[in-house]
Amino acid sequence: METITTDQPWFNRLLPQGLLIGTSTLISGPGGSGKPLIGDTIAASWLRRGGSVIFMSLQYPSPDFVYASMKHVAGLDLHDYEDHIAFIALDAIIDGMEAPEGRRFRANVVKPAVWDAALARATEMVPGEGPGVLVFGSAINLLLFSPTYGRAILDKIKATMTTEKAGRTYLFSASTTAKREEIAELEAIADNLMMTRSEKEPFRLYLRVVRAKGVPFVDEEIEVPIPPGVLLEVKEVADHSRKRVIPQVSRL
């Protein structure tokens, strides 16, 4: 079976043969610990190998931060891959989806039907070349704060990761700071599971691979060599997004 490796020696140390294409990966850990930055390394390698990436960055109000973090962490300029990327921005105020602006559009993916429609639309926007389409969704725990749709969207995410892959590969990150029991359900069914933790003063990020489908992995915790300044910036953005997004989702 085909795998995707990264261009980062620290990641390849844990997963020397990479991750299986067509699987689901969950990066789980405390809020603000830098989980999306680990996802950036996988997404960058995916694009470099001719694949397409759908960014569902739920905690970022603008794609600008994704462009910046990909540059800082993986040395990749997303502007060079515009034909192979699409962005789904969470908007918990609208009913469904807004008209796209280029390959970007807003969608209320808190609702399971909109989740499906948004992924289908974004998939149509990008080519299925190389390793195919990677869906990179960060901070998916934010969707679970809806009293009306929280359970339903959790079940939809679980189905997406297992029985409804639709030829795509999935890479999600989720905070365990809140909704811990719900995130544990995702941890239990992900094909590949990675856990993070962080330390302060200076800010350090650590990664361990808990499970990987069909490939060997090293059961060892490593420090991820991302500059503390970049980690702090991610934490600040994550803190800001929680204050902005959670109240909106909580009203649904």
CB neighbour class for 191 (10 Å; exposed up to 12, middle 13-18, buried from 19): buried
Name all domains of the chain by residue range, CATH numbers in brackets.
22-250 (3.40.50.300)
pLDDT, tens only, 2-36: 999 998 899 999 999 999 999 999 999 987 767 88
In this structure, the number of other CB atoms found within 10 A of the CB of residue 243 comes to 8
- The answer to whether 131 touches 2, Cβ cutoff 8 Å, is yes
pLDDT bucket at 231, cuts 50 / 70 / 90: low
pLDDT, tens only, 68-95: 888 888 889 999 999 999 999 999 999 9
Check residue 105 and give its pLDDT: 95
Which three-class secondary structure state does DSSP give residue 98?
coil
Q: Which two tokens stand for residue 178?
A: 């809140």
- The answer to whether 25 touches 186, Cβ cutoff 8 Å, is no
Q: Which residue has the tokens 């330390």?
A: 199
